[in-house]
Structure 1
Amino acid sequence: MSVTDYDAELDASGLFCPEPVMMLHTGINAVEPGQVLRVVATDPSTTRDIPRFCQFLGHELISHAEQGEQFVYLIRRGE
């Protein structure tokens, strides 16, 4: 999957824990099961929180990359 293959984007830049994950709850529900949400964040705690969010709620973390001071995630919504 290329970094441009996603259905919606959530920009949580400038927000700190727990706000990015709280927004992710809403953002993941805005896409259909099987669709991909791209999340951009600047809080380093998302490197721990977002993978756990996906694991506990049954979503697939497709990729995670650091781009400068941003953390970029591609998440496929589970059923």
Structure 2
Amino acid sequence: MSDVYQQLDARGLYCPEPVMMLHNLMADVPTGVLVEVLATDPSTRRDFLKFCNFLGHELLQCEEVNNEFHFLIRKGEEG
């Protein structure tokens, strides 16, 4: 697993902003890069799973820590 990653801080933002920000970031990073996302909106658990499934990215981790959601996503192959 590559340890190269980008971090996206979406704390304090609500749907659809975190998904839109993730989508823009994924467009700018190479395939295989790990992206760590920090969020506070509970709907991101559902939204990021659907986002990854739809666009072919891999949701490696989703955990809640002190009312924050931490995600680790590997960018999939370019469509």
TM-score by length of 1: 0.90
Please list every run of 5 or more consecutive structure 1 residues that lacks an aligned counterpart in the other structure. Answer: none
Hey, what does 2:56 align to over in structure 1? 58
Hey, what does 2:71 align to over in structure 1? 73
- May I ask how many residue pairs the two structures share in their alignment? 76
* Letter aligned with residue 65 of structure 2: Q
* Letter aligned with residue 61 of structure 1: L
Pairwise CA distance, 1:6: 4.7
RMSD: 1.2
How many Å separate the matches in 1 of 2:6 and 2:33?
8
How many Å separate the matches in 1 of 2:33 and 2:71?
14
Pairwise CA distance, 1:30: 2.4
Q: Deviations over 1:26-56 (max 9, x none)?
A: 1112221011000000000001000000000
Contact 1:20 1:46 in 2 (8 A): yes
Pairwise CA distance, 1:70: 0.6
Segments of 4+ moved more than 3 angstroms: none
Contact 1:17 1:43 in 2 (8 A): yes
What aligned pairs does 1:1-79 form with structure 2 within 5 A after superposition?
Answer: 5-79=3-77
- Secondary structure of the 1:22 match is helix
Q: Percent sequence identity over matched residues? A: 55
